[in-house]
């Protein structure tokens, strides 16, 4: 089994979150501040060095004003 951080779907998931951050005009540092964490947390999940669990994903989605269901649907649309 391939580790999920290396699948096409998870790559797409990371791309969607990164694009949403950029669309909101936020730096990694600004998003980290919204999340109450350090900038490297955002950097590591955006680069695939760290995997987000579902609770962390919901926190990121809230900070980016995203509908988490829509993000998941878009990610699922990417074939593995």
Q: pLDDT band at 79, cuts 50/70/90?
A: low
pLDDT at site 8: 84
Contact by Cβ (8 Å): 59, 49: no
| Domains defined for the chain, CATH in brackets | 4-76 (1.10.260.40)
Q: Residue 1 above 50 pLDDT?
A: no
Beta-carbon count within 10 A of 19 CB: 11
- Residue length of the chain: 80
Quote the pLDDT of residue 67. 97
The predicted-structure confidence for 5-21, as pLDDT tens digits, reads as follows 678 888 999 999 999 99
């Amino acid at each position: 089994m391939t580790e999920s951080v290396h699948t096409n779907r998870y790559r797409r998931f990371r791309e969607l979150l990164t694009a949403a951050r950029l669309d909101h005009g936020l730096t990694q540092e600004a998003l980290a501040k919204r999340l109450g964490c350090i900038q490297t947390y955002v950097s590591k999940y955006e680069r695939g060095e760290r995997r987000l669990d579902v609770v962390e994903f919901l926190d990121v989605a809230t900070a980016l004003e995203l509908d988490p269901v829509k993000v998941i649907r878009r990610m699922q649309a990417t074939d593995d």
